[in-house]
Chain A
Amino acid sequence: MTTYDVLFTLAGAISTGAAVLAVSTKHLVHSALWLVVALASLSGCYLVLGAEFVALVQLLVYVGAIVVLVLFALMLTRAPIGRSRDHDTPLPQRAAALVVGAATAALLSAVLISAFGNDAITVRGGSTHVLASQIFGTWVWPFELLSALLLIALVAALALSRMPIGRRDDSEADAR
């Protein structure tokens, strides 16, 4: 049990617990907030694994942007405040989902562990400089492609939000 192991276990435990709460809480907004905790502690895991740049991006993008978007979505869809049982599917389906989720977790863990073994390995972290040169060197074309993807997603989101669908448009058409 090394220091790394201890730190990773701490961060991982927080992340796991927060993730479980995020998918099981009865409060909609709490769910989003537990997601923040889970993702933030996951960035701690990234730090332990020596990927400090990724950890920072995770904090910025996920915690800063995505969760805010999720909260916006909740508000725009008039999510109820407070405990509610309406967010979960019926018990049989939840039981089935639990089985499936547990089985997936077990399967995935078993496969990955058996694939990589359990020999203690030195973490080769740091070197954000190398990562930067690689992203803008080796991976520059995928990077540019991603910027195009972001642009397209922006336009698509705009187009979707302006699309004339729903009862409101029908009623407007009727009014005219």
Chain B
Amino acid sequence: MIHPVLPMLLVGILFGVGLYGVLARRNAVLVLIGVELMLAAAGLLFVTVGSLTADPLRAGQSMTVFIITIAAAEIAVALAVILAVFRARGNIDVSQRGSDD
């Protein structure tokens, strides 16, 4: 027996903290960490809802697995992009002005 309030609260907090991380960080990798937290919140929501409802297809857990997979792909591509930006600009500061060209 579990009260759904707790996981839901955790979902909200994790998402908010992730959003704060995305907005408040300058380093692109740290921004990526915020994104990971938000993704984790989404996965938690899927699992929670899947556990709370009688779902013979196990859609909640399946989706979480998929999300984790997608997150792996995302982080790989993001890493490549960050490295490319670093090569081009010399830093990965997302709060720095872009150049007009």
Contacts and interface: CB of A to CB of B under 8 A. Distances in A.
Interface residues of A, number: 98
B72 A77 contact: no
Nearest to B82: A73
User: Which secondary structure dominates where chain B touches chain A?
Assistant: helix
B9 A113 contact: yes
Contacts of A158: 80
Contacts of B81: 160
Given A154-B76, A163-B84, A105 B16 contact: yes
A162 B1 CA distance: 53
Interface in A138-153: 138-139, 142-143, 146, 149-150, 152-153
A54 B44 CA distance: 10
A23 B2 contact: no
B61 A23 contact: no
Interface string B71-101: 1111111011111101111111101000000
Most buried by A among B12, B58, B61, B82: B61
Contacts of A38: 14, 37, 40
Most A CB atoms within 10 A — which of B20, B26, B36, B49?
Answer: B20
Given A20-B17, A165-B88, A54 B61 contact: yes
Interface in B21-73: 21, 23-30, 32-34, 36-37, 40, 43-45, 47-52, 54, 57-58, 60-62, 64-66, 68-73
Given A105-B17, A134-B57, A168 B87 contact: yes
Interface of B: 1-21, 23-30, 32-34, 36-37, 40, 43-45, 47-52, 54, 57-58, 60-62, 64-66, 68-77, 79-84, 86-93, 95
The 5 residue pairs across chains A and B that have the minimum distance between CB atoms: A105-B16, A109-B12, A23-B21, A101-B20, A97-B23
15 contacts: A22-B17, A23-B17, A23-B25, A49-B47, A76-B83, A77-B82, A77-B83, A88-B24, A88-B25, A108-B15, A119-B3, A120-B3, A142-B66, A156-B80, A157-B76
